[in-house]
Amino acid sequence: ADMDVDTIWMDGEFVDWEDAQVHVLTHGLHYGTGVFEGVRCYDTERGPAIFRWEEHLDRLFDSAKPYDMEIDHDHEELTEATLELIRRQDLESCYIRPLAFYGYNSLGVSPGDCPTRTMIACWPWGAYLGEDAIENGVDVMVSSWRKHASSQIPTNAKATGPYLNSMLAGEEARGNGYVEAIVLNKEGNVAEGPGENIFLVKDGEIYTPGLAESILDGITRKTAITLAEERGYEVHDEATISRGELYTADELFFTGTAAEVTPIRSVDDNEIGNGSRGPVTEELQKAFFDLVERRTDDHDEWFTYVNEQ
Ligand code: PMP
């Protein structure tokens, strides 16, 4: 395995990597009935600091709602578990993956009396789309797959099943020599990336699709909006963006916990702007990394300092 994990928290207990197992008749394995989060913990002068942990937990519990899933552990317990995982494994920075899913009782589509299982794992994870991507941007293609509509599945819930769509779009892009995909919604407007939200810069203003465009309400998206507004930018956060507007944008960038702030330098082989990271993207990227690596005191309320809890 290419993941360095010793200990996993599972259903209230810390277990060794090799003991964190589920049965093949697990409901979530057959029907994608899981909800999850992706969170980053950054290495700062005050030690490891988890970014916007409470918001991620809120989204986890919100994601469980449409699926009637009861997570048997509250915020406090999940927080303690995560802090302990980071401490025990001596992690300075890491990615945190909480997951709740229907376990085994029966295999009807109705989860019936299936128990909800919950796990958390943490591991070191660098730049999602590569270090080079952060500076030079990524080449992307508009996927031939459409994002499922919010009338078909709650797109604001971060559930496991819907990631089949993300996988198809991402693999199609990589199979065609691109780094990542942009996925249009059912109406044909720009929705998001397979695991990222998308922003467009035109004439000094910033645009990003709103929740009604079938996107996930990304926490990095919200962060980027706040950082941009604080720097005086006009941000249109309920924009409808057509495919053609991608090609004529001055700048495009992705946001996401994994992707952080990643410039997009081309779409379908069309250079965006001058084909490299644009000035607004660079400014927001710098603001983002200064924030999460705590080179500023701004928004201290967004950080959970592992060694100070
Ligand atoms: N959209 C999708 C489909 C995602 O999977 C993610 C990653 N969670 C995002 C957007 C970005 O969300 P966040 O900034 O909260 O990681």
**DSSP characters for 120-155?**
EEEE----TT-HHHHHH-EEEEEEEEEPPPTTTS-T
What is the model's pLDDT at position 130?
82
What is the model's pLDDT at position 127?
79
Q: What is the DSSP letter of 159?
A: B
* Domain residue limits, the chain: 7-123, 131-292
What is the model's pLDDT at position 2?
66
What is the model's pLDDT at position 1?
60
> For ligand 1, is residue 219 a contact (CB within 6 Å)?
yes
For this structure, is 286 an active site residue? no
pLDDT along the chain (309 residues), means of 10: 85 97 97 98 97 98 98 98 97 97 95 96 87 94 97 96 98 98 98 98 98 97 98 98 98 97 98 96 98 97 96
Q: Cβ(27)–Cβ(101) under 8 Å?
A: yes
The domain made up of 131-292 has a fold known as D-amino Acid Aminotransferase; Chain A, domain 2 (3.20.10)
Q: Of 184, 109, 117, 175, give the one whose Cα is nearest residue 146.
A: 184
> For ligand 1, is residue 83 a contact (CB within 6 Å)?
no
For residue 203, CA distances in Å to 17, 218, 251, 266, 306 come to 51, 24, 10, 18, 41
Residue type, 159: A
> For ligand 1, is residue 181 a contact (CB within 6 Å)?
no
What is the model's pLDDT at position 192?
98
Active-site annotation holder among 65, 158, 202, 286: 158
User: Can you give the pTM of this predicted structure?
Assistant: 0.97
Non-local (6+) Cβ contacts of 233 within 8 A are: 204, 205, 206, 280
What is the model's pLDDT at position 122?
97
- Closest C-alpha to ligand 1, atom 6: 195
The domain made up of 7-123 has a fold known as D-amino Acid Aminotransferase; Chain A, domain 1 (3.30.470)
- What is the CA(92)–ligand 1 centre distance, in A? 23
Q: Cβ(139)–Cβ(51) under 8 Å?
A: no
Q: Cβ(75)–Cβ(37) under 8 Å?
A: no
